[in-house]
Structure 1
Amino acid sequence: MTQTPPSSPAGTRSVRVRPAPAQAGPPSGAGGGAAPWRALAIVLAGAFMAVLDTFIVLVAAPAIQADLHASDADVQLVLAGYQLTYAMALITGARLGDRFGRKRLFQAGMALFTLSSVACALAPDAAGLIAARLVQGLSAAAMFPQVFAMIQVLIPAAQRPKAFGVLGAVIGMATIAGQLLGGVLISADLFGSSWRPVFWVNVPVGLVTLLLAALFVPESRAPEARRLDLPGALVLTVALFLLVVPVVEGRSYGWPWWTWLSLAGSVLAFAGFVRVERGVGAAGGAPLVQLSLLRRRPFAAGLGLVVLAYAGINSFFLVLSLTLQDGLGRDPLGAGLVYTPLAVAFFTASLIAGRLARFGRRVLQLGALTGALGFAGTAVLAVHSGAALTAWELTPALALIGAGNGLLVTPLLNAVVSQVGPQQVGMASGLLSTGQQVGGAVGVALIGVLYYGALGGAAHHDVAAYGHALTAAVLFNLALAAAVSALLPLLPLLPDTGTRRGGSGDGS
């Protein structure tokens, strides 16, 4: 595929990339060779860890609760606290990378992630674990947006679809590995440490990644990036807090009055954020989010599609895990193994999607429709089998879901980021990462209402009841896949280039 650069030559020069002393080769996407891909492989380790720790704790939650004598609310905060601070700090982390250097922010985030993982593993009680998880989420928010930005500035334009294919595969594999690795580590009960190895495993990976990043990852920043918009960052943090907290915690508390008040307050806070950003721009400052970017239909539509896609991905993994363990009686390791066909299909389709980029939006449509077919197949199997439903009976449908997500998510990420030029890549990556987290949180909240509502007071291992609940939940996933398919025409991909129609790379 031939992809036009996302900016004019002048725009390209505005991004300064200084290779680390140990790195040979061309700077900042100026050419091919192994060096950019080596650097990308290193930072992808950070992306893998950030996503992994969203899901590995789901498997560890029962063991954590038993060992620390934690309440249900404590366990909810262990799970949700990470996602909360992660979502709140993503845009700020991306803009700090633009200003102070993406390599520097990635290294700082990785160092803090490693230290907070040690704190999680050594936590003496639930309060200590919750505090460490909050810090862990902040550190992930410093790391993850830099990966999107580095793809844009390190990888030559023609190879970016392939790079986003690898990123999509990494995200998918981290999601599945969280289930499988968590099951393996908890089942092994190394040295009688129960759940603690799910955090210790981050430490050697983090240390090795820090060393390799220092040696082989080049620095890049946007020289035009000015001081961080602190008022905008504060108001946006408040707005995201008011949105994410009730979405994440509402179902477990029975949707009390404060959740609805918080959601209403988030609308006012987002309106206030728009006013603040307009004021900063009018005064000649550098707003945290350039509102003109959100007014551009290609980027805004792509961001909305990412929110919908991740609402479906995260929510499905939640209900599938619950059904496999609580309903069908599989242990954490056995449940993780059931994910294997989905993982293989996702990984393979993600890599293939990069090679099919010349077909443009048709690949995205194929992915959405394939995923929808998998969700429909899951519902049909659950209804048809009833109390006789088995985990491995779901394998063909799970493979279709994995393949569909691989074909959809991978080129979608490339399509959204390609709508902006180098000056805005940090901002765009922060918005995109935030959209993933908020979409996932909203999807989990909505599907939880459907799943637990259909489940009622059924006892564990009541296969028929859990199959009924899975059917109700999967119909929600099917509706999301249909919505994505219907909205894809809003994303104007050119069949031969995979780039936007018209417009300049600087977002004007």
Structure 2
Amino acid sequence: MTHARPPAPAAPPTAAAPATDTGPSPWRALSVILIGVYMAVLDTFIVLVAAPAIQDDLRASDADVQLVLAGYQLTYALALITGARLGDRFGRKRCFLAGLAVFTLASLACAAAPGPGALIAARLVQGLGAAVMFPQVFATIQVLLPPERRARAFGVLGAVIATAGVTGQLLGGLIVSADLFGTSWRPIFWVNVPVGLLTLGLAAAFVRESRAPRAPRPDLPGMAVLTLALALIVVPLVEGREAGRPVWTWGSLAAGMAALLGFALVERRVEARGGAPLVRVGLLRERAFAVGMLLVLLAYSGINSFFLVLSVTVQDGLGLDALRAGVFYLPFAIAFFAGSIVAGRTARRGRRLLQAGALVLLLGHAATLAVVAGAGRALTAWALAVPLLVVGLGNGVLVTPLLHAVLGRIRATEIGMASGVLSTGQQIGGSVGVAVVGVIFYGRLGGAAHHDVLAYGHALSGALIFNVALAAAVSALLYLLPGTAAAER
């Protein structure tokens, strides 16, 4: 993944070169594919609020509920790079439609699941559909819009991702509380069906096909080894805390690291034979790629971990029900949305914009820590509203142009690879952040009873120190990120 801008190749209409004849309204097509993004991200969060109702209705065990929550994330993370490369070869529109169709059918199966086993299986398939659908969006932005308009598109993309994450919890609370027709949690999946069918029709009509020029054959050995490596890493990160971090989780992580080295060797051999590797290992030696991906890992570690500890604190510690907890996140969503739009319109400032976002994020986490530490037993959820707004603004200004900085200058033949690696980095970063902050938060919380405000505030303070450290690390690392061409002028 490199920031060196290559000359635009003379490509056929289905190539990945920036299209200039995409019709009078490329934003119409972009709006359609962003519905798919919203659905994929929404289903990561909406189940969190509905989990207790699912457990009661299906008489599921704690382990079953964890698999319902984690199964989607697991298959989603494992298949992202493969899904992106399939789009390169067989067409991004075609793969977007196929992934969306699988996602919609799996949602139907989730809604009709008679027991926990059926629901877990449907969630695994749903994650696979999302993994095929989601990375096509990054690549489609690159081919749908000319370079000078992509930053704004990534701004809108960042706003949609943030809004989906926050409104997922709000919608989950609303739907479960409404208990439509006595169906409890099931409408959280039913709602995907009409939206998915409508989006399929709109995408078929308005999204143009594209694929990589001279797209190579799928790298099956690379896919197999990478899937194994990611499974060995992601499973203990997703399941480890609930399992009490037994020995097998650490062994799995070590084996996953070894499998990644094996993947690098496999990819080198594929490239040496003149083939097309799933991920070009040489990218890791390129400064822009290495720094950019490390920034993505750190940024998403902070976002996901912050959501986890804040959600647990305001519900279990401060006594908010699911609906009020969803409303509590609205300032964050509004600020993130506003920051994303502002970032998209001022992306010409390049690295300085990223540094400003990281500084605002650092100040927001520090302010949240100060409020929590100073309030003691008097802490309330609404005392966190203002610092939460600052955190949302910082994330919006940082994360949105960061996506553009990493993907903005990828060669046409590597856009699928890059988008898949970026999407996987987001998922791995989020899982690592949740795992680390879970150790800190639950370690400090101990066996405290629900609604013990002082204990939950103490645990949240420890987790926030981790978030402050992450934001500071991002701020420092940004100085190593090569400036964009816009910033240099």
The alignment's TM-score, normalised by the length of structure 2, stands at 0.97
Amino acid at match of 2:82: T
Q: Deviations over 1:171-217 (max 9, x none)?
A: 00011011111111111111111111111111111011000000000
Alignment correspondent of 2:447:
457
Aligned residue runs from structure 1 range 139-158, under 5 A: 139-158=129-148
Shifted more, 357-366 versus 128-137: the winner is 357-366
Amino acid at match of 2:107: S
1:193 aligns with 2:190: no
Alignment correspondent of 1:105:
95
The 1:16–1:7 alpha-carbon spacing in structure 2 relative to 1, beyond 3 Å, is farther
1:382 aligns with 2:375: no
Amino acid at match of 1:17: T
1:412 aligns with 2:402: yes
Kept after mapping to 2: 8 A contact 1:88/1:237: yes
How far did 1:498 drift?
7.7
Alignment correspondent of 1:430:
420
Aligned residue runs from structure 1 range 490-501, under 5 A: 490-494=480-484, 496-497=486-487
How far did 1:31 drift?
5.5
Amino acid at match of 2:170: L
Q: Deviations over 1:239-261 (max 9, x none)?
A: 00000001111111111111111
Kept after mapping to 2: 8 A contact 1:29/1:153: yes
Aligned residue runs from structure 1 range 119-158, under 5 A: 119-158=109-148
Alignment: residue pair count: 487
Kept after mapping to 2: 8 A contact 1:357/1:498: no
Alignment correspondent of 1:322:
312
CA distance in 2, matches of 1:352, 1:449: 35
Amino acid at match of 2:7: S
How far did 1:384 drift?
1.2
The 1:38–1:5 alpha-carbon spacing in structure 2 relative to 1, beyond 3 Å, is farther
How far did 1:16 drift?
3.5
1:361 aligns with 2:351: yes
How far did 1:494 drift?
3.0
Alignment correspondent of 1:292:
282
How far did 1:497 drift?
4.7
CA distance in 1, matches of 2:430, 2:181: 35
Alignment correspondent of 2:392:
402
How far did 1:435 drift?
0.1
Q: Deviations over 1:219-249 (max 9, x none)?
A: 0001311110000000000000000001111
Kept after mapping to 2: 8 A contact 1:28/1:220: no
Question: 1:336 pairs with 326, 329, 346, which one?
Answer: 326
Alignment correspondent of 2:293:
303
- Give the secondary structure class of the aligned counterpart of 2:184: coil
How far did 1:387 drift?
1.3
How far did 1:33 drift?
6.3
CA distance in 2, matches of 1:434, 1:265: 19
- Give the secondary structure class of the aligned counterpart of 2:210: strand
Amino acid at match of 2:111: A
Q: Deviations over 1:403-454 (max 9, x none)?
A: 0000000000000002311110000000000000000011111111111111
How far did 1:378 drift?
1.2
Amino acid at match of 2:283: L
Alignment correspondent of 2:338:
348
- Give the secondary structure class of the aligned counterpart of 1:219: coil
Aligned residue runs from structure 1 range 461-472, under 5 A: 461-472=451-462
Alignment correspondent of 2:474:
484
Amino acid at match of 2:409: Q
Shifted more, 227-236 versus 278-287: the winner is 278-287
RMSD: 1.7
Gapped runs of 5+ residues in structure 2? none
- Give the secondary structure class of the aligned counterpart of 2:14: strand
Alignment correspondent of 1:447:
437
Alignment correspondent of 2:257:
267
- Give the secondary structure class of the aligned counterpart of 1:250: helix
1:62 aligns with 2:52: yes
Question: 1:17 pairs with 14, 17, 21, which one?
Answer: 14
Shifted more, 294-303 versus 270-279: the winner is 294-303
CA distance in 2, matches of 1:465, 1:236: 41
CA distance in 1, matches of 2:197, 2:141: 22
The 1:33–1:393 alpha-carbon spacing in structure 2 relative to 1, beyond 3 Å, is farther
Gapped runs of 5+ residues in structure 1? 20-26, 500-508
Amino acid at match of 2:380: T
CA distance in 2, matches of 1:289, 1:18: 19
1:202 aligns with 2:192: yes
How far did 1:294 drift?
2.2
Shifted more, 233-242 versus 379-388: the winner is 379-388
CA distance in 2, matches of 1:416, 1:479: 22
CA distance in 2, matches of 1:459, 1:48: 36
How far did 1:14 drift?
3.5
Question: 1:168 pairs with 154, 158, 161, which one?
Answer: 158
Kept after mapping to 1: 8 A contact 2:77/2:428: yes
- Give the secondary structure class of the aligned counterpart of 1:7: coil
Kept after mapping to 2: 8 A contact 1:5/1:157: no
Alignment correspondent of 2:218:
228
How far did 1:293 drift?
2.0
Alignment correspondent of 1:503:
none
Matched residues, percent identical?
65
CA distance in 2, matches of 1:458, 1:88: 36
Q: Deviations over 1:113-139 (max 9, x none)?
A: 000001111111111111111001110
The alignment's TM-score, normalised by the length of structure 1, stands at 0.93
Q: Stretches of 4+ moved more than 4 A in 1?
A: 31-34
CA distance in 2, matches of 1:498, 1:40: 29
Question: 1:88 pairs with 75, 78, 88, which one?
Answer: 78
How far did 1:7 drift?
2.7
Alignment correspondent of 1:505:
none
- Give the secondary structure class of the aligned counterpart of 2:28: helix
Q: Deviations over 1:374-399 (max 9, x none)?
A: 11111111111111111111011000
Kept after mapping to 1: 8 A contact 2:15/2:212: no
CA distance in 2, matches of 1:106, 1:6: 27
Question: 1:243 pairs with 222, 233, 238, which one?
Answer: 233
Amino acid at match of 1:69: R
Aligned residue runs from structure 1 range 249-260, under 5 A: 249-260=239-250
Kept after mapping to 2: 8 A contact 1:97/1:426: yes
Kept after mapping to 1: 8 A contact 2:405/2:484: no
- Give the secondary structure class of the aligned counterpart of 1:169: helix
Shifted more, 145-154 versus 54-63: the winner is 54-63
